[in-house]
Amino acid sequence: MEYLNAIEDFIRNAFREDMPCGDITSEATVSGDKKAGGKVVSRGDYVVSGVEVARLAYSIMDPDIRFQTAFTDGGNISRDAVLFSVDGPARSMLGAERVVLNIISMMTAVATKTRKYCDLVRDTRVVLLDTRKTIPCMRTFQRMAVRHGGGTNHRYSLSDAVLIKENHIVAAGGISEALKKAGAAGNVEIEIEVKTVGELQEALRGNPNTILLDNMSPSMIKKAVEINKGRVRLEASGGIDSSNIREYALTGVDCISLGTLTHTIESADLSFLLEYD
């Protein structure tokens, strides 16, 4: 699992946030030796994401909780199906409930939305990328969900690759100067954002790995593809949604990056039902 230590730390912090001094309601109403069985039920049709995260969360909460599922991340689940079941100490399962549901509801929503976009361009050559427009400290989970939905991850952080955007270009003194300075920084992937065909031509002379075509129309991107002639990777971004993504994909561009995969989501509807022994 990607960044396992970070995931474990996040889950522990989430439990601490949710019950800094314990779960006083469960401690007051449920005896410590009470056993129970629980299940998470899907209230819609989704692409599953977060099953293994949920398994890990329950083991962190209480090693005595047993976890079972017939689903794997990236699979499909139908309305009213049981995503997974747990059994063990009742207090522990009640304590884990909200943290687990919050994470897997978000991840399942991201995976489902990503699959929707992937299906729209399934027969094209384009690769769908996520962006850094993620919930703070939840990036690892959201990136996993994008992959479960069939998408591909862009750079994880500002430390992973050079991505020169408009503000960097202005500060550096122009496209050519920005690329020159970035090239001198070391052997790293370099991507630069352009907004016009003229800027594209200037960027190509600097030989970056990728050029991001920002808020260009499909016709402009077709022109950019013709000018590029396969020399560098071309990425389209900005103003792309489910209504026009196919038109963009058919321009011949290599990649499309979509912030909407992670920053505009509605959590999946999942319910936790507990039955006492």
Q: Which fold has domain 4-111+266-276?
A: Aldehyde Oxidoreductase; domain 3 (3.90.1170)
Clarify whether 241 is annotated catalytic: no
Predicted local confidence at residue 242, as pLDDT = 96
Residue 185 pLDDT greater than 90, yes or no: no
Predicted TM-score (pTM) of the model is 0.94
Dist CA 269 CA 177 (whole Å):
50
Clarify whether 80 is annotated catalytic: no
**Mean per-residue pLDDT over the chain, rounded:** 95
Annotated catalytic residue: which of 34, 39, 132, 133?
133
Determine the average pLDDT of the residues in 72-87: 98
Cβ proximity of 240 and 256 under 8 Å: yes
Annotated catalytic residue: which of 12, 43, 165, 180?
165
Helix (H) / strand (E) containing 237 = strand 233-237
* Position 1 confidence tier, pLDDT thresholds 50, 70, 90: low
The two counts, helices (H) then strands (E), for the chain are: 11, 12
Every domain of the chain with CATH number 3.20.20.70 lies at 119-263
Higher pLDDT, 275 or 102: 102
Fill in the amino acid letter for 193. Answer: E
Dist CA 47 CA 83 (whole Å):
11
Predicted local confidence at residue 187, as pLDDT = 76
Residue 125 pLDDT greater than 90, yes or no: yes
Clarify whether 181 is annotated catalytic: no
Q: Angle between the 90-120 and 51-61 helix axes, to the nearest 10 degrees?
A: 160
Residue 247 pLDDT greater than 90, yes or no: yes
Every domain of the chain with CATH number 3.90.1170.20 lies at 4-111+266-276
Annotated catalytic residue: which of 27, 62, 214, 269?
214
Determine the average pLDDT of the residues in 217-232: 97
Phi, psi of 165 (to 5 degrees): -110, -175
Where does 35-173 show beta strands of DSSP type E?
A: 35-42, 46-47, 66-68, 76-77, 82-89, 127-129, 162-164
* Position 275 confidence tier, pLDDT thresholds 50, 70, 90: confident
* Position 34 confidence tier, pLDDT thresholds 50, 70, 90: very high
* CA separation, residue 69 to residues 9, 49, 58, 81 (Å): 24, 13, 13, 11
Tokens 């209480």 sit on residue: 62
Tell me the residue length of the chain.
Answer: 277
Predicted local confidence at residue 150, as pLDDT = 98
Residue 236 pLDDT greater than 70, yes or no: yes
Dist CA 230 CA 14 (whole Å):
46
Please, what CATH class does the domain formed by 119-263 belong to?
A: alpha beta
Clarify whether 35 is annotated catalytic: no
Clarify whether 133 is annotated catalytic: yes
* Position 2 confidence tier, pLDDT thresholds 50, 70, 90: low
* CA separation, residue 234 to residues 118, 191, 211, 245, 272 (Å): 18, 9, 5, 15, 44
Fill in the amino acid letter for 137. Answer: C
Residue 3 pLDDT greater than 90, yes or no: no
Kindly report, residue by residue over 129-162, the tens digit of the pLDDT. Answer: 999 999 998 999 999 999 999 999 999 999 999 9
Cα atoms in the Cβ-side hemisphere of radius 13 Å centred on 13: 9
Dist CA 237 CA 187 (whole Å):
25
Determine the average pLDDT of the residues in 204-216: 97
Dist CA 134 CA 245 (whole Å):
21
Dist CA 171 CA 191 (whole Å):
16
